[in-house]
Amino acid sequence: MPTQTSSAHFFLSWAKERIDEMDATLASLEGKAVQMQAQTRVKADQFISEMKKKRDEFESTVEKQAEAGEPAWDSAKLRLAAELKGFEAETQRYLETFGNNIEQQQAVFQSQVTAQLGAWREAADKLNAAGKEFAIERRREIDATISRMKADAAAAEKKLQELARAGTESWSTLNAALAEARATFDRANQATREAFKRATRSAQ
């Protein structure tokens, strides 16, 4: 796995995890919107349409940066993190306006958890496959970081599922738990990225 390719993989994994979460949020909100009365539904649909625009802008920025080099990705991630915060703020406003009840919040949270954990598993599987390209002695560190990533994912999943089952937490608590899990994923992704870089350098 050449350095540029591996670096691109980590940027795209970072972005995909967030896009999957946004898609899951929108799908959950749309599913509930169809049950609303006509007048409320029109307002909800306008809200969802604005949120879709934010999601599409996020993906567009990712696509523009995908071919850029590593320094560009680091600055793009800052901009994308700000865009994600905007999407999250809109989600909160939507829930306060149309779905300020535990059931709707839990449905959105559960969809986000499912998306986030799916992205973790997919990233770990891709990294595992890519790590096999290295000679055995260079693969040990990569395998160890992937194992840590899987362990972190399992711990995050346990915590998130406990919150989902409890069904009594406020939206801000649920959101904070998701943000914490996302940060754990980012740290694991970064550690694996560094392990790939070291393995690539030593292979040259």
pLDDT for 5: 46
CA distance 142 to 191: 9
Give the pLDDT confidence of 56-68 residue by residue, as tens digits. Answer: 999 998 888 877 7
Give the Cβ contact number of residue 54 at 10 Å.
18
pTM, to two decimals:
0.82
CB distance 162 to 123 below 8 Å: no
pLDDT for 4: 46
CA distance 62 to 80: 8
Tokens of 58: 């996020």
Nearest 10 degrees: CA dihedral of 21, 168, 173, 33?
40
CA distance 179 to 158: 15
Give the pLDDT confidence of 91-136 residue by residue, as tens digits. Answer: 989 988 886 677 888 889 989 989 988 988 888 888 888 778 777 7
Token pair 């991630």 is found at 77
